[in-house]
């Protein structure tokens, strides 16, 4: 539900550029996945956040 809500917020349209989903029915979104071209970028960002959190640093 949280992902579905976030994707629907107009000011957060950038999220829809990263995430794709299927719509089995007009009211449903499921099978969320990262767009292939952004997978490495998202992985790198998450790894950096993890490393900073281990060091006690903020973003």
Domain layout of the chain by residue ranges:
2-55
What's residue 58's pLDDT?
67
| Residue-level pLDDT at 7 | 84
pLDDT of residue 1: 59
Look up the pTM and report it. Answer: 0.67
Give CA–CA dist 43/3, Å, rounded: 18
Residue 39 Cα distances to 25, 52, 56, 57, angstroms: 27, 20, 26, 24
Rounded-to-integer distance, Cα 47 and Cα 39, Å = 12
By three-state DSSP, how is residue 24 classified? coil
Q: Name the average pLDDT for the chain.
A: 89
User: Cα Rg for the chain, rounded, in angstroms?
Assistant: 14
26-54 confidence digits (pLDDT tens): 988 899 999 999 999 999 999 999 999 99
- Residue 10's pLDDT band (boundaries 50, 70, 90)? confident
């Amino acid at each position: 539900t949280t992902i579905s809500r976030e994707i629907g917020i107009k000011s957060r349209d950038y999220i829809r550029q990263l995430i794709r989903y299927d719509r089995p029915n007009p009211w449903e979104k499921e099978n969320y996945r990262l767009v292939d071209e952004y997978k490495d970028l998202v992985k790198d960002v998450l790894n950096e956040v993890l490393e900073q959190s281990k060091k006690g640093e903020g973003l």
